[in-house]
């Protein structure tokens, strides 16, 4: 009787959409990883660039899942998670290149901090490698998430391992037990804020997120979605911010931080006026309100299972250092 192959400790999942040329960078960087106990799954979200055929020819060792239609980043990430039963799951954007020690450092961090649901590393700009692309995410009570240090020169100011509010899913390793408890990514979001929303839910459930500066990856940032400001990014960002707040803010936070929330929305409206996208902003609000019944149903479950104290949450949110 033949033995069943052992499940690797880590499943690496890469979500891609019309990004075949980007896979030519991220996949070779996986071959150079010092940590080797992993398998690779690529989820092709209904690409039209022959990604699946190219992978079959050039990367036969990579498992491929092809979506019949484009369900957005969130659906692709969930397919990556469901692709195996390994202890850990690494989620990668298709537009990253990993330093050889990246995966190993993230895996070691989760072993060292058993209460951490996810570990993320230092993202550097792919083209200008002295510039930071992000050192973990911070979140403000106004409802906005930002990558720490994005766009500034890396001088070692973010070289301290620490807890952060959220991990950017461009390159992060998740603990499966946390994924099972918190649930998958919210597919209503489609794209944008899906990683922030997941980490917010994890924080409310008592998990933490670790930033590991020795785990380095080079990120092209929006290579698939497109750089700069475009209507899709604006729409999903504006809409999804509202849903993340509606789902995850405890009632006291909604009341106490209503002025900050209103100020952020006023700033979004001012931007929409300046770039002549008021109709897009209104559509984002219309669709956010239309989706509120199902979002609020999830809110009741999330808040009922919250274990994080209000004081602890207050220390985590709004810390932009």
pLDDT tens across the length of the chain (321 residues)? 445 457 899 999 999 999 999 999 999 999 999 999 999 999 999 999 999 999 999 999 999 999 999 999 999 999 999 998 999 999 999 999 999 999 999 999 999 999 999 999 999 999 999 999 999 999 999 999 999 999 999 999 999 999 999 999 999 999 999 999 999 999 999 999 999 999 999 999 999 999 999 999 999 976 555 444 589 999 999 999 999 999 999 999 999 999 999 999 999 999 999 999 999 999 999 999 999 999 999 999 999 999 998 888 888 897 544
Given this model, what pLDDT does residue 70 score?
Answer: 92
Long-range contacts of 300-305 (CB under 8 A, 24+ apart): 302/201, 302/204, 302/247, 302/248, 303/204, 303/250, 303/251, 305/204, 305/205
Given this model, what pLDDT does residue 188 score?
Answer: 96
- The residue ranges of DSSP E strands in the chain, in sequence order, are 10-16, 38-44, 63-66, 88-93, 96-98, 116-125, 132-134, 137-139, 145-147, 162-164, 171-175, 208-219
Q: CA-CA distances (angstroms) from residue 164 to 51, 273, 310?
A: 35, 34, 17
Q: d(Cα 215, Cα 310) in Å, to the nearest integer?
A: 31
Given this model, what pLDDT does residue 170 score?
Answer: 94
Given this model, what pLDDT does residue 310 score?
Answer: 85
* Cβ contact 298:286 at 8 Å: no
Given this model, what pLDDT does residue 4 score?
Answer: 44
Q: d(Cα 85, Cα 7) in Å, to the nearest integer?
A: 8
* Cβ contact 302:204 at 8 Å: yes
Structural domains of the chain, ranges and CATH numbers in brackets: 10-219 (3.90.550.10), 231-316 (no CATH)
pTM over 0.85: yes
- Identify which of 183, 146, 178 has the alpha carbon closest to the alpha carbon of residue 164: 146
Tracing tokens 């929330």 back to the chain, one arrives at: 261
């Amino acid at each position: 009787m033949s033995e069943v192959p052992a499940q690797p400790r880590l499943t690496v999942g890469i979500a891609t959409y019309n990004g075949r040329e980007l896979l030519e960078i991220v996949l070779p960087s996986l071959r150079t990883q010092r940590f080797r106990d992993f398998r690779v799954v690529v989820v092709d979200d209904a690409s039209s660039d022959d990604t699946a055929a190219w992978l079959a020819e050039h990367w036969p060792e990579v498992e491929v899942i092809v979506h019949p239609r484009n369900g957005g980043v969130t659906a692709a990430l969930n397919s990556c998670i469901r692709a195996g039963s390994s202890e850990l799951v690494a989620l990668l954007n298709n537009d990253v290149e990993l330093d050889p020690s990246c995966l190993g450092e993230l895996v070691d961090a989760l072993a060292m901090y058993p209460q951490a649901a996810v570990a993320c590393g230092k993202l550097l700009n792919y083209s200008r490698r002295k510039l930071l692309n992000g050192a973990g995410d911070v979140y403000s009570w106004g409802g906005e998430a930002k990558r720490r240090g994005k766009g500034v020169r890396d001088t070692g100011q973010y070289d301290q391992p620490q807890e952060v509010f959220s991990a950017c899913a461009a390159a992060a390793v998740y603990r499966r037990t946390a994924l099972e408890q918190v649930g998958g990514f919210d597919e209503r979001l489609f794209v944008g804020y899906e990683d922030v929303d997941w980490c917010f839910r994890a924080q409310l459930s008592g998990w933490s997120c670790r930033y590991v500066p020795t785990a380095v990856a080079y990120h092209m940032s929006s290579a698939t979605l497109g750089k700069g400001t475009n209507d899709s990014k604006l729409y999903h960002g504006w809409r999804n911010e509202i849903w993340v707040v509606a789902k995850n803010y405890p009632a006291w936070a909604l009341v106490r931080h209503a002025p900050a929330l209103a100020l952020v929305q006023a700033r979004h409206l001012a931007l929409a006026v300046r770039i002549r996208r008021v109709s897009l902003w209104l559509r984002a609000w219309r669709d956010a309100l239309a989706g509120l019944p199902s979002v609020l149903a999830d809110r009741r479950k999330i808040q009922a299972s919250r274990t994080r104290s209000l004081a602890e949450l207050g220390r985590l949110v709004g810390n932009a250092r």
